[in-house]
Amino acid sequence: MSLFSGIRPRRGGLGLVGVLLIVATAITPMAASAHYLGGSWWYNATFLLPLSYQNQAGGYPAYSSAIVQGASNWYSTPTPSDLYSTAGSANIIANTVWDTSSSYWGVTHLYANQQVCFFFGCWTFNSEIPYGAYTSPTSLGAGWSNYTSGSITLNRATLDYESDFTRIKVATHELGHVQGLGHAYTPNCTSVMQQGYLSFNRPQAHDSYDFDQLYPGYWSAPYAC
């Protein structure tokens, strides 16, 4: 007799199938997009995407200015991006660190709520989003909410040796991440989401296109490579 020959819906088979589906969903890897992190902030598709940020870099004017300019760079694009600064609690924190033990310029974190279900109940945790949950451009993996918060950090130990131009590029790049954009690797297609030194420090047509694909409805930048 087959192990599963006794499965009948009236005997709880649906519950068993449900659990197996949950497990299958949880362990099935999905390809991440090259241009998006996966997931997004909640967006109503017809309005701006206003997100507040707390600029904590006031002790280092070159950095606080770069953060303000980075937010302004995104505001100036044909996208719903609308990052505005606030004194109190915020959606995004922008700060600095003095880290001499790494070569990075900037770091971004994103957080979301994760609902964890066992067969006897479900719980919700707010946590940093794991890499494996960045599964598709428009949503995180099973059980994950939209983004709930994010942070960008600029490393003074490396950026002190760079120009204002590059500091603004890094702030703009990290603010692109915190809004849901991933790194861009397309050859011959300029993007502020490329890593490293660039000859520009503002979002390019490709970035606006990607942004409007992620948050569609308000604006529609034309396709650009």
Partner 1 sequence: MRNFKLFSLAGVAVLAVSAILTGNISLRSEAVYMTDGPTFNDIADLTKASHAVAQVKIVSAAKSYRVPFDKAQVVVSPRNTDGAKGKEQPQSSVPAVDFKQQGLLHTDFTVEVVDAVRGSLKNGQRIVVTQLGGTEDNGALTNTEHDTLMKVGAQEVLFLRQDAQSGKFFTTGGGQGRFTVAANGTVTPVDQHSQLARLVTGKPASFVTGAAKAAP
Site for partner 1 in 2-31 (CB under 8 A): 3-7, 11-12, 16, 19-20, 22-23, 26-27
For position 128 contacting partner 1 by CB under 8 A, the verdict is yes
- The answer to whether the CB of 92 falls within 8 A of the CB of 178 is yes
* Binder of partner 1 out of 124, 127, 163, 220 (CB under 8 A): 127
Is 30 within 8 Å of 135 (Cβ atoms)?
yes
Q: How many CB atoms lie within 10 A of CB 98?
A: 10
Does 132 sit near partner 1 (CB under 8 A)? yes
**What's the chain's length in residues?**
225
In 3D space, the residue among 54, 133, 129 whose CA is nearest the CA of residue 95 turns out to be 54
Alpha-carbon distance of 25 to 23, in angstroms, equals 5
Minimum CB separation of residue 223 from partner 1 in Å reads: 22
Stretch 156-195 residues interacting with partner 1 (CB under 8 A): 156, 158, 170, 173-174, 177, 182-183, 185, 195
Instruction: Pick between residue 177 and residue 206 the one whose CB is nearest to partner 1.
Output: 177
Footprint of partner 1 on 71-100 (CB under 8 A): 71-72, 75-76, 82, 84-91, 93, 95-100
Residue 70 tokens, joined: 């980075």
